[in-house]
Amino acid sequence: MLVKIVREGLGRAIALGDLVTRGSKMKRSEEQQARIAEELQSLSLYQFYACPFCIKVRRAMHRLNLPIETRDVNRHPQFRQELEHNAGKVKVPCLRIDDAQGSQWMLESGDIIAYLEQRYGQAA
């Protein structure tokens, strides 16, 4: 119980630190940004607000200027169930990638960031 409270407190401190130290966002033309925002409808990030690994991913999303929907699995039992059912466990962050074939559930913050960098990191 105490460990949980300390971990949550630390996570919130890191989240606050993240908010005040975020740098600038990648710049794109209005057209490019609108196209990317449309594309990002097919992505969602299952996460906890105070999880350091989620903060790392949200920081990359900010830097890359990617307004991806975030789904807090601590606040919404439906998101927790979806994550557990599809990813096989409640582990965050998890990036859900939807396409015509179905959904891919990507775990591991490092893999998620590498995927976002590779797909959206180049200013066109």
Ligand X SMILES: N[C@@H](CCC(=O)N[C@@H](CS)C(=O)NCC(=O)O)C(=O)O
Give the chain's largest Cα–Cα span. Answer: 49
- 19: closest CA among 46, 58, 51? 58
Indicate the length of the chain as a whole number.
124
Contact set with ligand X (CB under 6 A): 48, 51-53, 90-93, 108-110
Shortest spacing between CB 108 and ligand X, in angstroms: 5
Nearer to ligand X, 36 or 109 (CB): 109
Nearer to ligand X, 28 or 59 (CB): 59
Shortest spacing between CB 48 and ligand X, in angstroms: 6
Nearer to ligand X, 66 or 87 (CB): 87
> What letters, b where the CB count within 10 A reaches 16 and e where it falls short, cover 2-28?
eeeeeeeeebeebbeeeeeeeeeeeeb
Shortest spacing between CB 100 and ligand X, in angstroms: 27
